[in-house]
Structure 1
Amino acid sequence: MTEARRAVNPLWAFYEQIAMVVGLSALAIICLFWLPFAMLLHPLLPRRIGQPIGRRMIMGGFRFYLRFLEIFCACRFDLGELDRLRDQGPMILAANHPSLLDAVMILSRFPDAVCVMKAALLDNILFGAAARLARYIRNNAPLEMILSAREELQRGAKLVIFPEGTRTSDFPLDPCMNSVGLIASRAKAPVQTLLIEFSTPYLGKAWPLFRRPCLPLTSRIRLGQRFAPPTDIEAFTQELEAYYRAEFAQNPVCTAAVAA
């Protein structure tokens, strides 16, 4: 739906505003529901018990949330290709990062996924307790991050990481960092690229949190090329970025401009 059509349809604009409030509120409620349990279980349970419980609860909570958005907020998520990876063993899932919903979509499909997260999110009141119970990895200490990621991959986990380091500000892609190559090289793990596409850049870096979305919102995650563990980190990072840019030249990340 174009901006012109939205402008002459105040009822639809009102629905978009309500859907935004309902959608954001639902996520907050889900997080608040699990918060006291995660805070209690983290110090009480040993890692071998608490970690899988934490990761499965995040998967289930995010899956429920995406379904809620589909039913009540005119969102459509095409995530079927991710399911092909579930039984394929440990690997690095490297995705572009156009929206705040990216990690939600990926983590909703895997019971054994571990995410590399900003330290600020791990300390956040809404998300921190659940992430700590699931033993997600902080990104603020590079050596510790790499060693922790290697340990998780050796245990059989799927590691979710965004090579750009943060949400995309200059579409289709910001420069990629060396972290993916460093982890893959240390862990001898393959890198499976994920290509995330949205109908609009809703909840992207340039989209204010409380700006109403352009509905209906559609998103798809495609499986991209799988790279072998690299030996030359710099060359791998350049190859990875070039691959993303070539893919997005053919299939844009967002079908609407950031300023729309």
Structure 2
Amino acid sequence: MRSSVVIKVLNRLWRQLATGFSFLIFGVGGLVLTLIVMPASLLIVDGPRRERLVKYLIHRCFRLFTGMMAKLGVLTVEFHHLERLDRPGQLVIANHPTLIDVVFLISFMPRADCVVKSSLLRNPFTRGPVKAARYIANDDPDAVIKAAGESFARGNSLIVFPEGTRTTPSQKIELQRGAANIAIRTGQNLRPVTIECAPLTLTKNTPWYRVPERRFHMKFQVGDELDISPFLKGKPSVMSRQLTVTIKDYFTRETAHHE
């Protein structure tokens, strides 16, 4: 009995250390990308080619990072219908339970673009990669829609979290209208991804070192494309509200189904 308790304590301590090590590597990797890789990428004169290279490098780094977390025993992961993300030029929407959702999604998609907080452009660990990859800052809604349309035209897929921030555990899903506005203004259908994390960790207001009793399991379910054509026939402001309700109903239903 005592030995099992000791093993449990040691296992949890290991996962705390492994999680801390993982985030340290993430920070160091971001700094290396900023100080070395991104300046070197400027040698590529062709802007679109440079953007594709930087996006691919970030994709590979995130793939290595998530694989490292799995190898260290921090987490396990499963996914369903991941091949649906292969087609370029998609508007990918997802619920947002954990801190590392976007890391996993970019690790699945070599040409992923995303809407990011403008504060990332002021962070020394993220400024270089964010600028070089031409990720879209969320300052101005009209500028976001314009940049999204241009990104689709360049063959990128765009990741958007309709919630805008991580879900607060035990609270109902509340969405912003950004994803619906982008879909309607650019005419892009929606590709939903439902993300589960059990037991919950790395949630809003939860520090990284508060690890769960066992390693957590991430599950990604890529759904069928949501057709937005019915929402293109009315006033965009009204249709975006209705589409937001449809998105909310989808994720409420899917997350409840998988609980």
- The bucket for the TM-score relative to the shorter chain is 0.7 to 0.9
When residues 32 and 83 of structure 1 are mapped into structure 2, their CA distance, relative to the original with a 3 A threshold, is farther
Partner of 1:242: 249
Equivalent pair of 1:54/1:134 in contact (CA under 8 Å): yes
Unaligned 5+ residue runs, structure 1?
A: 253-260
The 1-side partners of 2:80 and 2:126 are apart by: 26
Partner of 1:68: 68
Partner of 1:189: 188
Partner of 1:211: 210
Q: Does 1:223 align with 2:206?
A: no
**SS of 2:123 mapped into structure 1:** coil
**SS of 2:56 mapped into structure 1:** helix
Identity percentage of aligned residues: 25
How far the C-alpha of 1:20 sits from its partner, in A, is 1.8
The 1-side partners of 2:5 and 2:192 are apart by: 35
The 2-side partners of 1:164 and 1:187 are apart by: 20
Partner of 2:235: none
Equivalent pair of 1:154/1:187 in contact (CA under 8 Å): no
Equivalent pair of 1:38/1:133 in contact (CA under 8 Å): no
Q: Does 1:137 align with 2:136?
A: yes
Q: Which residue identity lines up with residue 186 of structure 2 in the other structure?
A: A
TM-score, scaled relative to structure 2? 0.88
TM-score, scaled relative to structure 1? 0.87
Q: Which residue identity lines up with residue 75 of structure 1 in the other structure?
A: L
When residues 90 and 56 of structure 1 are mapped into structure 2, their CA distance, relative to the original with a 3 A threshold, is same
1:50-89 Cα deviation digits (max 9, x unpaired):
2111100100000001111111133212235323321x23
The farther-off stretch of 185-194 and 23-32 is 23-32
The 2-side partners of 1:80 and 1:60 are apart by: 20
1:132-157 Cα deviation digits (max 9, x unpaired):
10100001211101110111112221
How far the C-alpha of 1:29 sits from its partner, in A, is 2.4
The root-mean-square deviation of aligned C-alpha atoms, in Å, is 2.1
Q: Which residue identity lines up with residue 210 of structure 1 in the other structure?
A: Y
The 2-side partners of 1:20 and 1:143 are apart by: 38
Partner of 1:82: 82
Unaligned 5+ residue runs, structure 2?
A: 233-238
Partner of 2:118: 119
